[in-house]
A and B are shown apart, each in its own frame.
Chain A
Amino acid sequence: MTNLTRTPALALGDDALILSHRLGEWAGHAPVLEEEVALANIALDLLGQARILLSLAGDEDELAYLREERQFCNVQLVEQPNGDFAHTIARQLYFSLYQQLLFDHLATGGSELAPLAAKAVKETAYHRDHAEQWTLRLGDGTDESHTRMQRGLDALWRFTGELFEPVDALDAPWQTLRDEWTTRLTTVLERATLTVPQGPQHGAWTAGAGRQGLHTEPFGRMLAEMQHLHRSHPGATW
C-alpha cells in the first residue's frame, strides 16, 4: 500500500466505508428494533457505494483492510464515534444532506463517478429523509430529546467545514453546494425548534484534514476493530 494516489473515488469511497462501519456499530444497541434495521440498511447502502468506489481506485479489500490510518482520506465527520442516538442523527443529517447535494451534481457530469452517483443519490434521499424526520421528532419532542439533539449538532459542527473543501481532481461547485447545504439545514433545524450552531466550522487541529490523511484520535481504534480479522487471518472467507 505504498504510492497510494488520492483519487476522488478513494476519498468518496472512504467516506462511505467509514460511515458504514460506524452505523454498523449500532447493531444490537439501537433504541428500538425498527431503528436497528434502519441504521443497518443505511449502512448497507453505504457499503455498496464503498465497494464500487474503492474498486474504481484499486482492490477493494486491500484498500479497506490493509491501509494504515494516514492513508485513509475520508472527512473527519464520518469517523466520529456514534455517541447517543441524537449524536448519530446529527452526523447523519450533516452528511446525508451533503452527500445528496454532491451526488446530485456528480450524477449529471461525465466523470467515472457519474453512474454510481446517479444510482446512489436516490438511496441517499431516503437517508436524508430518515435523518430529517428524526431531527424534527427529537428537536420538537421533550426537553430531554431537544437538549440532546442540540448537543449533537453543536458537538459535530466543527467537522462540517471540511465537507466543502475542494477534493483534488473532483470538479464540483463547492461554494454553491455549501450555500445550498446551509439553506436546507437551516430550514430543517428551524422547523425542529433547534438552533444552527454558530461556532467555527473548522477546529485549529481537530478538523479540516481528513482528506489529507490526518484523523482524529478515535479513528485508530475504529480501524483496529474493522481490520483485525482480515489482518489476523489473511484471505479468510466464510
Chain B
Amino acid sequence: MVTTAPTPLEEKLLALAGSVPDPELPVLTLAELGVLRGVRLTSPGRVEVQLTPTYTGCPAIEAMSADIERVLHDNGVAQVEVRTVLSPPWTTDAITPEGRRKLAAFGIAPPRPTGPADGPVPVALAIRCPHCGSTDTTLLSRFSSTACKALRRCESCREPFDHFKEL
C-alpha cells in the first residue's frame, strides 16, 4: 500500500492508469472496478503501480498490467513496474457506484453488498433483471462466462443474464 500521501503527479498518473478499460468488461475502467491500489513515483521517470486481482486465477490481470504500462509509457513515464498485491483482498464492494450503474446498463446485474465470507453464500435474495427490471429471477449456474459471474434467468422477460456475484 502507498504509505505517504500521493503527490499531484502521482495523482495524475493514478487517474491515467485508472482510466484503462477492463479487458473483459470494457464498459468498466480499472478505477471503477476498484482493482488499482496506488501509483508511486520511486525515482524520476520510474513508477510503481499496485494492482490487485479480482479472483486469484483471473487471467485478465496480465492484460491489465500491459495496458497500464502502455498508457503510462505513452504519457512520458520511462519505466513502469506493475506489482500484484493480494492484501487486503479485493471485494465486489470496491466497485464504485458509477461502475455498478455501467454494469447494469451493459446487461450485467451488479453485485449486492457482501456479507461475511463464512456461512452459506446468499443466492436467494432478489437480484434484478438488467433487461426488464423484474426481481423474479432464478439461478441457472453459480459460475458463468468468467469466474466473477453467475448465470441467471429472468422469469418475467425469459432472458438469461450474467450476475456479477458477490465476493
Contacts and interface: CB of A to CB of B under 8 A. Distances in A.
Decide if A and B are genuine partners. Answer: yes
Interface of A: 34-35, 37-38, 40-42, 44-49, 51-52, 104, 114-116, 118-123, 125-126, 129-130, 133
A42 B57 CA distance: 9
Given A48-B55, A116-B56, A120-B56, A129 B120 contact: yes
A154 B88 CA distance: 39
Nearest to B118: A104
Interface string B127-164: 00000000000001111111100010000000000000
A126 B56 contact: no
A44 B144 contact: no
B58 A52 contact: no
Contacts of B123: 129
A130 B142 CA distance: 7
Contacts of A44: 55, 57, 59, 147
Contacts of A35: 141
Interface SS majority for chain B: loop
B56 A115 contact: no
Given A34-B140, A38-B141, A121 B117 contact: yes
A115 to B, nearest CB: 4
Contacts of B107: none
Contacts of B118: 104, 125
A42 B88 CA distance: 22
Given A118-B86, A118-B89, A125-B118, 20 more contacts: A37-B141, A37-B143, A41-B143, A41-B147, A44-B57, A46-B57, A47-B57, A48-B55, A49-B57, A51-B57, A104-B118, A115-B87, A116-B86, A119-B87, A119-B90, A120-B56, A122-B167, A123-B167, A129-B121, A130-B143
Given A118-B88, A125-B118, A37 B144 contact: yes
Contacts of B87: 114-115, 118-119
Given A34-B141, A118-B88, A123-B167, A45 B117 contact: no
24 contacts: A34-B140, A34-B141, A34-B143, A37-B144, A41-B143, A44-B55, A45-B55, A46-B57, A47-B57, A49-B56, A52-B86, A104-B118, A115-B86, A115-B87, A115-B89, A116-B86, A119-B53, A122-B117, A122-B167, A123-B55, A125-B118, A126-B121, A126-B165, A129-B123
Nearest to B146: A41
Given A115-B86, A115-B87, A125 B121 contact: yes
Given A41-B143, A123-B55, A34 B86 contact: no
Contacts of B91: 122
Given A45-B57, A45-B147, A116-B56, A129 B86 contact: no
* Chain B CB within 10 A, most for which of A37, A42, A45: A37
Minimum-distance CB pairs A-B, first 5: A48-B57, A48-B56, A34-B141, A38-B143, A115-B87
